[in-house]
Structure 1
Amino acid sequence: MTMVDANDFFQHKNIEPIKLDFSPQIDSYYERDVIFANELGNNSFSHPITNVDYRGLYLQMIEEGGARGEVIFTNNPLKIYDLGYIDGVCIGAVHEREKLRELFVSFGAMVPVITIQDIGPEPWGVIGSNVSDFEGGVLKLLPEDADDTAEKIREMIKEETGKSVDVLIFGDGAYKDPDTGIYELADPHPAIGVSSGLKSAGLRSGSKLKLVVDTLYRKGYSKEEIITYLENKEGEKVEENLGTTPRSATSIIGTLADLVAGSADAGTPIVLVRGFKYKQKS
């Protein structure tokens, strides 16, 4: 692509035009599987579980806001350029927002590229927001300083009860329902904020218990000997390098709490977790 200011070009014949080479990004832009609105006809795509036509729902909200909307189906966000000139890009994805911003910028976006984290107060913008007043257009946002809020709650519990606990403010659990395929993680992390004692929580990992037990059993250890080994972790009788899937301890606790709490109308605002063991960050 070659660009030049027409006025400067006619006034100064020796002006050098700006040349932009997008050839490295062409493969990223090319995408056969894209469906535009004019190809849909009267067809609609309703969610198999909720039975909601989300394309229609989004278009309705856009039009009620006084704007014109068009939805395309594609795995390549750069296909929005096929719709013609756009004066800005707002990325609605939560967990891949920076990756997608980088994609647009590297492709040579000449317009502002923002994410929903850039809309609203720091640190999260409108990420993880929920409707508080639909008619009034009011959103309930994530806490501005969730760690500080968690620490204050911890101190209040200590003062009122004398109990030493740690507090975790949880959002959506990182869980995908295998039956419905629904994966709800609209918050930046399952653990939005933690009190001081959980700040040093690291990844939770360990040995594959079933593999260790089976290996010891094949080596001739009795049930009692295996129990003693597991309780005392004595020696290195089993060489086991597979390990378990490492997960953030706070993400596990947050997901556990979210699953137990259920929806807001379940009336479970607080979940008490006891005996959860985890390693400290090294």
Structure 2
Amino acid sequence: MAGVISRGIQGPIIREGDDIVDIVVNSVYASEKEDNYTLKDRDIIAVTESVVARAQGNYVTVDHVAQDIRAKFNEAKKVGLVFPILSRNRFSMCLKGIARAVEEVVILFSYPNDEVGNPLMARSAYVPHKYSEVTSYQEADFIATFGSPVHPFTGVNYLDFYREVIESEGAKATFLFSNDPRYITTACDNILCCDIHTRNETRDVLKAMGKTVYTLADILSAPVDGSGYHEKYGLLGSNKATEDKLKLFPRDCQPVVDGIQARIQAERGIRVEAMVYGDGAFKDPVGGIWELADPVVSPAYTEGLSGRPNELKIKFLADNDFSDLSGEELKEAIRKEIQTKDSDLVGSMSSEGTTPRQYTDLLGSLCDLTSGSGDKGTPFIVIQNYFTNYAE
């Protein structure tokens, strides 16, 4: 009777140099025995990106960040940051390194939310001014208009918090507010685009204005004095590890997922799929936060997880094509419809309301919600029956 089953699997505390493939496979085997289930063909094994990065030792220090900022901006004294997210975990250590490299940091905040939906302030403070003709502010004017902004969930005043981070490194903090990235050019010519998913668009707009522009993906895209790095994403997807160290997004993840698949196929004779996952890309309907501070949901996955679902909507069939049927006759008609469905249902009314997202994005949300981000201690996920439909 069971449909999709998602299991969080406990694992040991991962340290640098650990064999992550061996640990994942052994943890899953132990879970099978303990919880009385058996892996089958096309089951999915997912591994959270953080333990892969930890096993790789993909870390950098605040000094490494500062050194790369100096090199990229040719020892500039002032650097502007466009649209950083509001996060103590995700951005504060990046900011610390940037501030260590310069004499003044100018931050352009978007409002009322950052890129991933974190509210700079309570919506009640923003709504009365939503349609104002004034859309760009310096700090004093912003506070006079909206009041002192406090995050409604964490209770953090991010202006005070980011100012403290900057000034603790001996730099000056200047804050601007606008949803137009070009407003940063009123204050500086050396600019770091700190947005995640819109970074290339922001970079191109500012470069067209003749400014020196980089994105967070360019910082630590290569090693600095033997540090960790990520050639594609740089500081994007990084997390605070200690008061002086950041864990970067993992690199070279394909050998991990391929290794998990190959070992289980050799030992069990079944072909599972495997993926590395980060943030799940779901949106909280109450807080409005879009849970995707990582540059991608899945940096690596086996071939069987490519593509998107191609599914019929059972309730559409029941209410329309087979509205005159009931009981076993209705079940059999729907099963036959599923068995003979077209290979591409795009545009078909019978697939209306299904979710045509990438498998890895859908699975990433399921995995992220299953493992959580706190103290569950389940960095590995086993998903069963994901590719099984009503006709099977």
TM range, smaller chain: 0.7 to 0.9
Where do residues 164-179 of structure 1 align in structure 2 (5 Å cutoff)? 164-179=271-286
Gaps of 5+ in 1: 1-30
Q: Percent identity?
A: 32
Which of 117, 127, 140 aligns to 2:236? It is 127
SS of the residue aligned with 2:361?
helix
> Hey, what's the Cα distance between the residues in 2 that align with 1:206 and 1:268?
30
> Hey, what's the Cα distance between the residues in 1 that align with 2:189 and 2:260?
45
Which residue is 2:200 aligned to? 98
1:204 aligns with 2:309: yes
> Hey, what's the Cα distance between the residues in 2 that align with 1:79 and 1:267?
44
Amino acid at match of 1:254: G
Change in CA separation of 1:164 and 1:215 when aligned onto 2, cut-off 3 Å: same
> Hey, what's the Cα distance between the residues in 1 that align with 2:310 and 2:156?
39
Which residue is 1:118 aligned to? 218
Change in CA separation of 1:162 and 1:138 when aligned onto 2, cut-off 3 Å: farther
> Hey, what's the Cα distance between the residues in 2 that align with 1:120 and 1:34?
31
1:80 aligns with 2:80: no
- Residues 313 and 350 in structure 2, CA contact (< 8 A), matched pair in contact too: no
> Hey, what's the Cα distance between the residues in 1 that align with 2:190 and 2:318?
58
- Structure with larger Rg: 1
Which residue is 1:67 aligned to? 171
Amino acid at match of 1:88: N
Q: Deviations over 1:159-195 (max 9, x none)?
A: 5666532221100011111122222211111112113
- Residues 172 and 187 in structure 1, CA contact (< 8 A), matched pair in contact too: yes
Which of 353, 361, 367 aligns to 1:257? It is 367
TM-score (norm 1): 0.76
Change in CA separation of 1:153 and 1:142 when aligned onto 2, cut-off 3 Å: farther
Where do residues 27-42 of structure 1 align in structure 2 (5 Å cutoff)? 32-39=134-141, 40=143
The range that moved more, 187-196 or 161-170, is 161-170
CA RMSD of aligned residues (A): 2.4
Stretches of 4+ aligned residues off by more than 6 angstroms: none
Where do residues 1-282 of structure 1 align in structure 2 (5 Å cutoff)? 32-39=134-141, 40=143, 43-83=147-187, 86-106=188-208, 108=209, 110-121=210-221, 122-134=231-243, 137-158=244-265, 164-198=271-305, 201-218=306-323, 220-233=324-337, 240=349, 243=352, 244-277=354-387
- Residues 117 and 123 in structure 1, CA contact (< 8 A), matched pair in contact too: yes
Which residue is 2:48 aligned to? none
Q: Comparing both chains, which one has the higher relative contact order based on Cα–Cα distances under 8 Å and sequence gaps of 6 or more?
A: 2
Q: Deviations over 1:198-234 (max 9, x none)?
A: 3xx201242332222111353x122322211221216
> Hey, what's the Cα distance between the residues in 2 that align with 1:225 and 1:88?
69
SS of the residue aligned with 2:300?
strand
The range that moved more, 86-95 or 203-212, is 203-212
> Hey, what's the Cα distance between the residues in 1 that align with 2:239 and 2:165?
15
Change in CA separation of 1:235 and 1:190 when aligned onto 2, cut-off 3 Å: closer
Change in CA separation of 1:274 and 1:118 when aligned onto 2, cut-off 3 Å: same
Change in CA separation of 1:47 and 1:186 when aligned onto 2, cut-off 3 Å: same
Change in CA separation of 1:158 and 1:139 when aligned onto 2, cut-off 3 Å: farther
Q: Deviations over 1:62-103 (max 9, x none)?
A: 2223322222221111111233xx231111111011111121
> 1:49 offset after TM fit, Å?
1.2
> Hey, what's the Cα distance between the residues in 2 that align with 1:47 and 1:159?
51
The range that moved more, 248-257 or 220-229, is 220-229
> 1:196 offset after TM fit, Å?
4.1
Gaps of 5+ in 2: 1-132, 222-230, 342-347
- Residues 127 and 187 in structure 1, CA contact (< 8 A), matched pair in contact too: yes
> Hey, what's the Cα distance between the residues in 2 that align with 1:63 and 1:53?
16
> Hey, what's the Cα distance between the residues in 2 that align with 1:261 and 1:183?
17
> Hey, what's the Cα distance between the residues in 1 that align with 2:261 and 2:235?
26
> Hey, what's the Cα distance between the residues in 2 that align with 1:246 and 1:212?
18
> Hey, what's the Cα distance between the residues in 1 that align with 2:311 and 2:303?
24
SS of the residue aligned with 1:71?
strand
The range that moved more, 62-71 or 110-119, is 62-71
- Residues 322 and 333 in structure 2, CA contact (< 8 A), matched pair in contact too: no
> Hey, what's the Cα distance between the residues in 2 that align with 1:133 and 1:257?
26
